[in-house]
Chain A
Amino acid sequence: DTEVTQTPKHLVMGMTNKKSLKCEQHMGHRAMYWYKQKAKKPPELMFVYSYEKLSINESVPSRFSPECPNSSLLNLHLHALQPEDSALYLCASSQEDDTQYFGPGTRLTVL
């Protein structure tokens, strides 16, 4: 089974709201990723967690705050977002062979 789940599927939020995106995998993968994808573009890496520790932060604004509570869960906390942050947010996980498996994504709209 190579399933990565993400909730919610869709999220609409105002610029003053606080919300969280959730990602879960039960494949025993030790690396988990957040990507942002704008329309008609490839995904762009935001964060990487390796063995539950943040290993890469691609200069993402502080209004995005990742959290890895355990090896199966990855959250992305959102606060004071801007309309330009509207995008598809993808979670992925991988094992040592570096094959990344993606979740279905959360479609975020910031009003």
Chain B
Amino acid sequence: AQSVTQLGSHVSVSEGALVLLRCNYSSSVPPYLFWYVQYPNQGLQLLLKYTTGATLVKGINGFEAEFKKSETSFHLTKPSAHMSDAAEYFCAVSYQAGTALIFGKGTTLSVSS
């Protein structure tokens, strides 16, 4: 079965520090890849996505992710963390339109001042 692994259920950074959230997927066939953010008691907001084309994808709020097929990875980064980035982050993959997204277990990002 296809799966998504997010390394680190909890990541803590200082304000202004680099944010790195890791995501690996298990498939030899490149899927569509997504990062979502969820603030407390809210729905999921799309941060960025990779479907085809350029492997470095820029998203909202200064986040970006790089698709590395050889490493089956899609890690999320942000050069400088802000307090407002504190939230739950989900990596997800899709192999077929109109079916379920396969989610990782999520990573809670904490940002301290």
Contacts and interface: CB of A to CB of B under 8 A. Distances in A.
Interface of A: 2, 4, 6, 31, 33, 40-43, 45, 48, 50, 55-56, 58, 88, 90, 92, 94, 96-105, 107
The interface residues of chain B, by DSSP majority, are classed as loop
B63 interface: no
Interface string B42-54: 1111100101000
Given A42-B105, A56-B99, A98 B94 contact: yes
Nearest to B103: A42
7 contacts: A6-B43, A40-B106, A41-B105, A43-B103, A99-B49, A102-B43, A104-B42
A42 B104 contact: yes
A90 B45 CA distance: 12
Contacts of A50: 98
B97 A31 contact: yes
A42 B99 contact: no
Interface of B: 32, 34, 36, 41-46, 49, 51, 90, 92, 94, 96-101, 103-106
A96 B90 CA distance: 22
Contacts of B96: 98
A40 B97 CA distance: 26
A19 to B, nearest CB: 19
A58 B97 contact: no
Given A31-B98, A50-B98, A94-B98, A103 B43 contact: yes
Nearest to B101: A100
A102 B97 contact: no
Contacts of B32: 97-99
B44 A94 contact: no
